[in-house]
Amino acid sequence: MAEAISGRYLTFVLADELFAVPVGRVEVVLEMQRVTRVPNALPFIRGVTNHRGSVIPVVDPLLRLEGVPVDLEADPAIIVLQLDFSGEALSIGMLADGVREVMDLEQSMIEAPPRLGGRMDSRFIQGIGKTPGGFVVILDLDAAFAATSDGVAS
Amino acid sequence: MAKKLLVIDDSAAIRQSITYILQQDGYETVEAIDGLDGLQKLDSADRFDCIITDVNMPNMDGITFIRKARENPKFKFVPILVLTTESQGTKMNEGKEAGATGWIVKPFSADKLLAVVKKVAE
Amino acid sequence: MIDKFRETFREEAEELLSQLEDVLLELETRPDDVELINAAFRAVHTIKGSAGMFGFEKAGRFTHDLENLLDACRSGLRAVDSRVIDLSLRARDKIRAMLAEADSSAPFDEEAQALMAEFRAAVEDGSQLSPPPGSGKAGSVKAGSVKAGSGTVGATSLSAGSGHGSSGADTGRTATMQPEATQTGADKPGFKAGTDETYRIVFEPAPEIFMNGTKVLKLIEELAELGTLSVVPAVEAIPPMDLLDPERCYVSWNAVLTTSSGINAIRDVFIFVEGASRVVIEHLDIPDEDGGRQKRVGEMLLERGLVRPEDLGEALKSQKRLGEVLLENKLLKPSDLESVLAEQAHIKHAQEHQHDTGAMSVRVASVKLDQLVDLVGEMVTLQARLTSSTSTLGDTTLSGIAEQLERLVSQLRDNAMSVRMLPIGSTFNKFRRVVRDLSSELGKDVELLTEGAETELDKTVIERLNDPLVHIIRNSLDHGVESPDDRRAAGKPPKGTVCLKASHSGAHVVIQVSDDGKGLDMDAIRRKATERGLIAPGEILSDADAGLLIFRAGFSTAVSVTSVSGRGVGMDVVKREIDSLGGTVSVETSAGVGSTISLQIPLTLAIIEGLLVRIADEHFVLPLSSVEACIELPDDAGQTSNGSRLLSYRGDLLPYVELRDAFAIQGTVPGFRQVVVVNSQEHKIGFVVDAVIGDYQTVIKPLGRMFKDVSGISGATILGDGTVALIIDFNRLAHSARAAQARSA
């Protein structure tokens, strides 16, 4: 598992908790738009959507981490991200209840994820950032979503 | 079903070589030695898909034959080819006026004959 | 021509010559007897006409000159005098001698040459009284009635009357075999045979054309065989039914033809109808794509005199399209407009083709082409949005623009797609090596034949076909073609053949791999399939279905497992890959004779014609090329006792799939639903949907690797409102449905 390093992060909210992903991975943040369900897809994939003429998968991080779906009726945002899929770049859309800000995190502010306990699946967490405003969970995007089966990333 | 052709020429050599070429290519043929014989062959047949006739023949020439053949409703629209030589431009027109579909210029090769027959009869 | 009739002809000619002798001798005493002159002419004419066909070319050419002389006498242009009689008699003896000669290719001897010169001189001389040099007799003379000057006139009209006969006489037999080689004004200087030229052809058959046995449509077909033909029939002249005479032709045709055969080939098509029917053939200049400008419709109408300049000016003032205005005001016949538009399109196409085949070609990185096609795909998508928005807005100006843009975009799409098309031949060559290496490894002697290497396919399709084809060819070599010894024992040539053949079939390309090996052992396959539980014991399978078993995972009937293909790995991969290309596989086999595996592949993966359907609020697309019909879901449709779903369709029971169930779609089921009947691998199957929306230009977007294991969906597309619809992998669904049915049966 890759260790979280210092740098700029985009923070967003999922079920009242603050999460972060490296800004370098973010292409754009979209307002909620129609997501088309794909029958028989992996459970954490909510469907596909149109992004600049391409069809990209839309993943649900809350479903992946806690087994609870993001409410699509509540107009979540879609953060378009670059994923490393076995060495190939892949664009995906990730649902988020709301997008907050871009912040800098120093290495010293980042702690390793807790081994056990908590509601979240720690396999998909890269680290915990401690900021004056509180904790922020840094997602391990590739581990969480670059999967072809229900297990951990390929 | 094989296409059936009537070949009318007083020259046995021409008649036989035409039928030979046609038969080699899978056509069915009936021979007649002049226009009169040709008309008799028309009467006794239920159909012909094409008729090839010489012009200069004893008893009844080709032009008269064509006129008479066209009077028979059964052969009103059957393609008729006139055997002619290049020096007979007027015969071509006479033939056309009588109701011929086209002509074959003598001397002709097997390929040429088949091409013309194919052109009008298939 | 045909040696076996040579003797028959010689006998006939012999007879004709002795008749000729009698006639000539009688003519000497009665030179005015028209019947006698005609008889002489006929005899000579018959010999001339046939001689060349039976290997007596020389006699034929010689007789031709004599015939000319007798023809001049027959038509009164030359008197029958002792010179004519004398020459004719000498000629008759000469012809007889020539027919007796074994070798017809020898040059004319002096005597023959001298005689031929005299024939010509006698025709030229006309009525001249002076006896020919060397002729002692000055017999009866009948020249008085013909004026001296008319000899020349006669000669002129004779050559004119004989048409291309003048050239035929000089060059002999070959000249008459070929169409006239005359250059016409339409053929530009610099015209080269073999290069494409474009012609406008107007064909107005004589109304009574059917009466002489002419098959008019056959002529149009003949034209089409010469090259690329755009043809528009003018049907305005067809009267109402009660006035229609079925024996008259009321239709005429306007055509534009691009051909490398030259104008004479076009003339030849109409050779028998020219004269009575109006046939106009005009050469059209195709301006270079960069150099020339495409002519406008108005310009072309004026040029052809189809509209008056003042009407055109008036019509151009209107905001609407020129053609529509002219038609509305009855200033132009619909067929004339259609013909002009067809010509415009044809020329445009010819221009593009010129460009294709021209020396200029550009190498482009394939990734750029992919980008281009992606961009065009986005435009097609955006176009759909524009069209749907303008139709709700109801603004006519905007709708007009949207319509024009739609036309442009669809042309752009076709263009972009065509750029990506490549001949499949490049792949074929790779397989030669595969066959060569593998046959030596297996100790077999196998030759690879290819056909249809020029067949074009989208390059991404070609790339993805490579592996499946390698598998199939390997399989043919390993399991199909026998060892040389076995082949000899079976009475076959020791060298086996594998034939790789590609051809177009509608929106598909069919690729066939056939071998002349031992064929599939159907009994062994059935036995094996039963052993492996792939089919139920006692289940009856047609040979075609049983053949498909070799594409099932883990299936192999090879007695010994070879390193090549005996492990049953491979053929199932073929099936999966072809499925994912939206194609189908079929097998034909004949014991001891060989097998053929056919792949039917869509031409392109990028854009297809789709049928848009809806279930609840979800949209799906089915490939239109496979759709056979849309029907209402009948009341009697339902699950049978064994669980399979069947409905009656055209007197048969049709299995169907509830897409609502297959895709786990929520929502209330409407009272009326529709069934889309689809052809899937030679089976028909129905898919139940809530509603069929209609045709849809479907830009296929891959779903990507995250959906690798999703079954039943082969891709996605973006709809006019920007949302995504899924493309149904109907083959997969049909297959599962059949499998389920087979299990429960």
A117 pLDDT band, cuts 50/70/90, is: low
Write down all domains in chain A, each with its CATH number in brackets: 7-145 (2.40.50.180)
Chain A residue with Cα closest to C617: A36
Q: What is the DSSP letter of A4?
A: P
Is-contact C248 C204, C-beta < 8 A?
no
Residues of C in contact with B79 (CB under 8 A): 213-215
Q: Which member of C165, C212, C215 has the closest CB to residue B86?
A: C165
Q: Would you call C8 and B13 a contact, using CB atoms and an 8 Å cutoff?
A: yes
Output the six-digit token pair for C126.
Answer: 């006309």
Kindly report the three-state secondary structure assignment for every residue of C292-316: CCCCCHHHHHHHCCCCCHHHHHHHH
Q: Amino acid identity of B32?
A: A
Answer yes or no: is C185 within a domain: no
Both C577 and C622 in a single domain?
no
pLDDT greater than 50 at residue B93: yes
Which residues span the domain enclosing C679?
607-744
Percent of chain B at pLDDT > 70 equals: 93
CB contact at 8 A, A39 and A18: no
Same domain, yes or no: C204 and C136: no
The helix (H) or strand (E) run that includes residue C21 is: helix C6-29
Answer whether A touches C (≥3 Cβ pairs < 8 Å).
Answer: yes
Q: Is C562 exposed, middle or buried (0-12, 13-18, 19+ CB in 10 A)?
A: middle
User: In this complex, does chain B touch chain A, defined as having at least 3 beta-carbon pairs under 8 Å apart?
Assistant: no
Is C132 inside any structural domain?
Answer: yes
Comparing C-alpha atoms, which of C121, C128, C130, C142 is closest to residue C68?
C121
Plot region of C672 (φ>0 → left; ψ -120 to 50 → alpha; else → beta): beta
Residues C23 and C134 in one domain: yes
CATH assignment of the domain containing C534: 3.30.565.10
Q: Which residues pair with C645 in a beta bridge?
A: C639
Kindly state whether residues C617 and C486 are assigned to the same domain: no
DSSP, res A149: S
Q: Do A85 and C726 touch (CB under 8 A)?
A: no
The arithmetic mean of pLDDT across residues C683-707, rounded, is 85
More confident: C549 or C44: C44
C628-648: pLDDT as tens digits: 899 998 877 777 666 678 888
- The answer to whether chain C touches chain B by having 3 or more C-beta pairs less than 8 angstroms apart is yes
Q: Is residue C706 part of a domain?
A: yes
Lowest mean pLDDT among B26-35, B66-75, C345-354: C345-354
Is there a domain that residue C119 lies in?
yes
CA distance C740 to C734: 10
Chosen from C658, C706, C727, C732 to mutate, greatest number of chain A CBs within 10 A: C706
Same domain, C169 and C221: no
Peptide bond into C423 cis (omega under 30): no
- Candidates B24, B85, B122: best to mutate against C (most CBs of C within 10 A) is B85
Residue C284 maps to a domain: yes
Same domain for C247 and C317, yes or no, is: yes
* Interior/surface letters B91-121, b for 16+ CB within 10 angstroms, e for the rest: bbebbbebbbbbbbbbbbbbebbbebbebbb
C493 and C580 part of one domain: yes
What mean pLDDT is predicted for residues B30-50?
90
Write the residue in C619, C710, C723 that is nearest to A50 by C-beta.
Answer: C723
DSSP string, C178-204: SPP----TTS-TT--TTS-EEEEEEEE
Q: Are residues C551 and C427 in the same domain?
A: yes
Same domain, C302 and C437: no
Query: C173 and C79 in one domain?
Result: yes
What residues are paired with C256 via a beta bridge?
C200, C230
CA-based end-to-end distance of chain C: 69
Q: Tell me the residue type at C89.
A: L
Minimum distance, in Å, between the CA of residue A8 and any CA atom of chain C: 28
pLDDT at position C104: 66
Question: Does any CB of chain A come closer than 8 Å to the CB of residue C701?
Answer: yes
Q: Which residues of C touch A153 (CB under 8 A)?
A: none
- Chain C contact present for A48, CB below 8 A: yes
Distance from the Cα of C430 to chain B's closest Cα (Å) equals: 40
Is C708 near chain A, with CB under 8 Å? yes
- Chain B CB contacts of C2 below 8 Å: 17, 20-21, 110
Chain C residues touching B24 at Cβ < 8 A: none
Average pLDDT over residues C383-391: 82
Q: What is the pLDDT of residues C569-606, one digit of tens each?
A: 467 778 878 877 777 888 888 888 888 999 988 776 66
pLDDT in tens, C294-331: 677 777 777 777 777 777 777 777 767 777 777 777 77
Alpha-carbon gap: B10 to the closest alpha carbon of chain C (Å) = 10
Separation of alpha carbons C237 and C249, rounded Å: 9
Structural contact between residues A36 and C725, judged by C-beta atoms closer than 8 angstroms:
yes
Domain boundary among C381, C399, C420: C420
> For residue C129, what is the DSSP state?
-
Helix (H) or strand (E) holding A91: strand A88-96
Specify the number of domains making up chain C.
5
- The neighbours of chain B, by the rule of 3 or more Cβ pairs under 8 Å, are C
Do C64 and C27 sit in the same domain of this protein?
yes
Both C625 and C694 in a single domain? yes
Classify C274 as helix, strand or coil: strand
Q: How far is CA A31 from CA A74, B9, C124, in A?
A: 11, 90, 100
Q: Which chain A positions have a beta carbon within 8 Å of C378's beta carbon?
A: 52-53
Q: Which of C195, C252, C274, C191 is nearest to C227 (CA)?
A: C195
CB C686 within 8 A of CB C653: no
The residue among C116, C183, C123 whose CA lies nearest residue C159 is C123
Strand order in the sheet with B102-106: B28-32, B4-8, B50-54, B80-85, B102-106
C663 secondary structure, DSSP code: T
pLDDT of C135 over the 50 cut = no
> C91-122 pLDDT, tens per residue?
888 888 888 876 767 788 888 888 888 888 88
Per-residue pLDDT, C290: 52
Q: For residue B48, give the DSSP letter.
A: -
Report the amino acid identity of residue C154: G
Taking CA–CA distances from C168, the nearest residue in chain B reads: B86
Question: Can you tell me the distance from the alpha carbon of C89 to that of C93, in angstroms, rounded to the nearest whole number?
Answer: 6
How is domain B4-109 classified at the architecture level of CATH?
3-Layer(aba) Sandwich (3.40)
